[in-house]
Amino acid sequence: MPLRHDPSQEMTVVDPRSGISFAMFDGPKRVICKVDWDALVDRATVDGVDETDISATYDRHREAIQAIASRNYDAGQASPIVTTYQLTPLS
């Protein structure tokens, strides 16, 4: 079952070298997801924007990040992690 986004859209910067955590829902169950810090830096670099403004990159790509996390959850990851190769695939 696809995850639903958290209507509060809260995010938590876990660690500057770890990534950003965010919640999604599987029915009433809250699922903690994460996007790797490096994935956000790589995405910002490809976008040609300030790679130190990780929160802005997360906000710009929130829908894609949540969709990837949902697919990872459906594939069996209990705590989905979005990686650089998923957020910024090599062309």
The whole-number pLDDT of residue 72 equals 98
Give the residue ranges of the chain where pLDDT is below 70: 1, 11, 13-15, 91
Q: Three-state DSSP class for 4?
A: strand
Domains of the chain: residue spans and CATH = 4-87 (3.30.160.140)
Distance between CA atoms of 85 and 38, rounded to whole angstroms?
10
What pLDDT, in 10s, does the model give residues 9-28? 776 766 677 889 999 999 99
Hey, how many other C-beta atoms are within 10 angstroms of the C-beta on 85? 11
